[in-house]
Amino acid sequence: MGQGTIREAFMTTPPQHPNFVSIGVSGGIGSGKSTVAREICVSLNAQHINADDIVSELLQREGIVNEIISALGQEVCDEMGALNRTQLGSVVFRDESSRLLLEQILHPKVREIIFAEISFLAEQQPNLVVMLDIPLLHEGGLDKLCDFVIFVDTPEEQRSARACERHGWSIDHWQAREKMQMPIASKKSLADAILCNDSSLSALREQVELLVPRLKSLTPRTLSSRWPEN
């Protein structure tokens, strides 16, 4: 069943919120959070919930796109009047008020989808393990969903190089995005475990495997008992 179908199915089914385990991943931009998330999903047969994928899906919905354009203006559109994600990024990362407006539109919807998706999956899968891959995990309060948070520790030079190569960013743009997030030291201090991602994928996998027994020992809880109020 596709992700969109999961979310649609949930909307017609009252949630019962069975117990499940939730693991979060944090780190700086370009640290390799999604790589760690995928490796843990393989090791634990966990469900990967990626907030960036949810945002990409939302930006394909006509109603949400129109709401964004109405709030931020034609500056975020291409010459045909359609939303241009590159221009949208440029606007919100140089103007704080525009960023806050965009977050007010998207963040509640992202949270609603995450809640719906976990609720549906927990009802369908006994012993569910969810891997939360959310860039603003702590900033958005969604770390409260987690039974365990992993920080991916990667040197700044490697992080900036990876992110700029992947997204076509300049160093200045990467730095601007970094400054909008919680400081690296603060994220690190909130983690239950730290993985070092400064060399090979095989070295990272070895660290994940060493962590697996701790993750398997986590006690499942209901979604309603951990969902953040704000």
pTM of the model: 0.88
Q: What is the pLDDT of residues 10-40, one digit of tens each?
A: 444 445 568 999 999 999 999 999 999 999 9
Q: What is the DSSP string of the chain?
A: --HHHHHHHHHTS------BEEEEEEESTTS-HHHHHHHHHHHHTPEEEEHHHHHHHHTT-HHHHHHHHHHH-GGGB-TTS-B-HHHHHHHHTT-HHHHHHHHHHHHHHHHHHHHHHHHHHHHHSTT-EEEEE-TTTTTTTGGGG-SEEEEEE--HHHHHHHHHHHHT--HHHHHHHHHTS--HHHHHHT-SEEEE-SS-HHHHHHHHHHHHHHHHTPPPB-STTT----
Residue-level pLDDT at 176: 85
- Is 12 part of a structural domain of the chain? no
- Is 118 part of a structural domain of the chain? yes
- Is 228 part of a structural domain of the chain? no
Residue-level pLDDT at 225: 86
Q: What is the pLDDT of residues 179-191, one digit of tens each?
A: 889 999 999 999 9
CA distances for 144 relative to 12, 223, 225, angstroms: 26, 10, 10
CA distances for 136 relative to 22, 177, 199, 213, angstroms: 16, 11, 25, 27
Q: Please give the structure tokens belonging to residue 98.
A: 């525009």
- Which residues are CB-neighbours of 50 under 8 A, at least 6 positions away? 34, 37, 133, 134
- Which residues are CB-neighbours of 44 under 8 A, at least 6 positions away? 23, 129, 131, 212, 215, 216
- Is 159 part of a structural domain of the chain? yes
What is the extent of the structural domain holding 30? Answer: 17-216
- Is 7 part of a structural domain of the chain? no
Could you tell me the CATH number of the domain that includes residue 70? 3.40.50.300
- Output b/e per residue, 28-38; b: 16+ Cβ within 10 A: bbbbbbbbbbb
- Is 82 part of a structural domain of the chain? yes
Spell out the per-residue pLDDT of the chain, length 230, in tens: 445 544 454 444 445 568 999 999 999 999 999 999 999 999 999 999 999 999 999 999 999 999 999 999 999 999 888 999 989 988 988 888 999 999 999 999 999 999 999 999 998 898 999 999 999 999 989 999 999 999 999 999 999 999 999 888 899 889 988 988 999 999 999 999 999 999 999 999 999 999 999 999 999 999 888 887 65
If one counts the domains in the chain, the total is 1
Contact 117, 6 (CB under 8 A): yes
- Is 225 part of a structural domain of the chain? no
- Is 223 part of a structural domain of the chain? no
First-residue to last-residue Cα distance in the chain: 30
